[in-house]
Structure 1
């Protein structure tokens, strides 16, 4: 009788459903980690998502249902990347910082950086070299161009601009369990208690220079975090157009098929305590969208030459 009962139980046990499990795992990650988790009725959303994938046999068939729930969260910075898009680019193809000098000023262009540990050292090394090459001319003021910085990993970016920012807390993440400060010490960035491998020990010929930061609607995510590190700094001002409005921190969660669920978990905060989010950050000195690069540089240069020591 025990054997027969055991067979009967086994016969009625639900069959494993890896596709359904994949879906519910993704939704569970969103529910547990998103800063917008309270905006969704999770039992209803999960039930609707399960109904939506009826008959689906591959994980890719759940993407639409997952994205529908992401849309309910209402955060444009949270997203799902398929396996092909989730693969990092070759390190040699990632743009690196560059610099130029003109007159008594220097310009440092800081591009976005796709999170790729294998490329971080190359990016920082190029940035340190660019900063050093421009500093050899002893510029009295600096322009930091973030107009095309569409984000990625902020750690290499902040490491590159560390000598322009100086030591101390330059910003933080606001999370439910408390703030996580971004701290620079001797060119090394520490976020919370985790320090970066790379550092930028360069000592500027003219320490604590005035800095003009250029922004546009393409300045996004970690590009905005880099901008925020200069916000509240008395010797810095921003020029150009409002940013994209994605000033929040994301954490990537790999899924079993190679896709990546990128979840917004924290807000960016500047050194004055101002909290940012999904609203574009306006520049201190707005310029027309039709302004040419020469006109933007001219406006920034004129301001720099009004600052002490320049």
Structure 2
């Protein structure tokens, strides 16, 4: 009887070991599959994909995987592989960070990035457009709608010109910025991106939607605004803080014939990022293109930034830079 019980116990113990081993192997296999999916995205989409030693990157990453047991264990390996992409802009957001981005500003207790606008001296339309760093579509609508509200109110006046302030725009999501400023841009090919294979694509806006390469990217629940003062001089204020999507907007404006850039050169993150959601909800953000303007000029030197037409280094001196903007508008109006 004791022998029979002992045999049963040994069998149960063996089954438990096999179950644990099987579970561990399944986790290891899932981690490997997850890592390879991330590496495959980098290899197929990175702006520098044709310049990198992918055999070395895969080999090193898989060697680092030997101690990984879970998907979470692959995060440092993915970040290490991303550092080899040499684009200074790609990123990785684990699921908990993505959850915060999806919740948006108000649900996470953050101040909402509303645009600021006012009429200066009765006939200069001033609009300050901040960056937006969330992936909540209701927030996108509110952000863009508030910009449009400011534009519409200012446009009800007989303006001498516009002052668009991007000095504090440190980037984030391009689509809501573009949607909010669509009265200036519409479907004109003002700013785009060139990928690693030399293929160009441009952004546009039509019927409440942002397009890229003619394909709809996102549809907004926002009003459509038509400008009365669209052809008036536009002065765009920039600084070293103006970055990423803020630089896309800078280039879009600079491609218009009635625009002057005034301030300091921009930050120099002049590349196009795309978010890829992985199987556990993490975001793999990859730099997949470089900014081009309407003339197909390429802004591919990281850190160089966009040079203003009128250089003012002291961009925090508000009175000085606003006076310079007004004077430039007046001078251009006389021509």
2:266 is the counterpart of 1:257: no
Q: Deviations over 1:241-285 (max 9, x none)?
A: 221211221111112233211011122211122112323112121
Q: 2 CA distance for matches of 1:186 and 1:252? A: 24
- Counterparts in 2 of 1:178 and 1:55: CA distance versus 1, 3 Å: closer
Residue 169 (structure 1) aligns with? 189
Match of 2:95 among 78, 83, 102: 83
Residue 201 (structure 1) aligns with? 224
- Counterparts in 2 of 1:235 and 1:166: CA distance versus 1, 3 Å: farther
Give unmatched runs, 5+ long, in structure 1.
1-14
Provide the aligned C-alpha RMSD in A.
2.4
Residue 119 (structure 1) aligns with? 139
Residue 28 (structure 1) aligns with? 40
- Counterparts in 2 of 1:188 and 1:22: CA distance versus 1, 3 Å: closer
2:233 is the counterpart of 1:215: no
Match of 2:74 among 62, 76, 85: 62
Contact 1:152 1:221 survives alignment (8 Å): yes
Paired residue total: 297
Q: 2 CA distance for matches of 1:308 and 1:166? A: 24
Instruction: Give matches, 1:178-197, under 5 Å.
Output: 178-184=199-205, 189-195=210-216, 196-197=218-219
Q: State the shift of 1:53 in Å.
A: 3.0
TM-score by length of 2: 0.81
Give unmatched runs, 5+ long, in structure 2.
1-24
Residue 232 (structure 1) aligns with? 255
Residue 12 (structure 1) aligns with? none
- Counterparts in 2 of 1:210 and 1:189: CA distance versus 1, 3 Å: farther
Q: 2 CA distance for matches of 1:289 and 1:67? A: 37
Residue 294 (structure 2) aligns with? 271
2:119 is the counterpart of 1:101: yes
Match of 1:43 among 52, 55, 60: 55
The list of structure 1 runs, each at least 4 consecutive aligned residues, that deviate by more than 4 angstroms after superposition, is 184-189
Match of 1:133 among 153, 160, 167: 153
- Residue 36 of structure 1: SS of its match in structure 2? coil
2:326 is the counterpart of 1:304: no
Contact 1:96 1:126 survives alignment (8 Å): yes
Contact 2:263 2:315 survives alignment (8 Å): no
Contact 1:145 1:215 survives alignment (8 Å): yes
Contact 1:169 1:184 survives alignment (8 Å): no
- Residue 283 of structure 1: SS of its match in structure 2? coil
Q: 1 CA distance for matches of 2:207 and 2:147? A: 16
Q: 2 CA distance for matches of 1:205 and 1:186? A: 19
- Counterparts in 2 of 1:206 and 1:309: CA distance versus 1, 3 Å: farther
Q: State the shift of 1:171 in Å.
A: 2.0
- Counterparts in 2 of 1:259 and 1:189: CA distance versus 1, 3 Å: closer
Contact 1:146 1:223 survives alignment (8 Å): yes
Which of the two has greater helix per residue?
2
Residue 159 (structure 1) aligns with? 179
Q: 2 CA distance for matches of 1:209 and 1:188? A: 25
Residue 5 (structure 2) aligns with? none
Contact 1:140 1:209 survives alignment (8 Å): yes
- Residue 308 of structure 1: SS of its match in structure 2? helix
Q: Deviations over 1:216-246 (max 9, x none)?
A: 2221111111111012322111112221211
TM-score by length of 1: 0.87
- Residue 332 of structure 2: SS of its match in structure 1? coil
- Counterparts in 2 of 1:188 and 1:57: CA distance versus 1, 3 Å: closer
Contact 2:185 2:204 survives alignment (8 Å): no
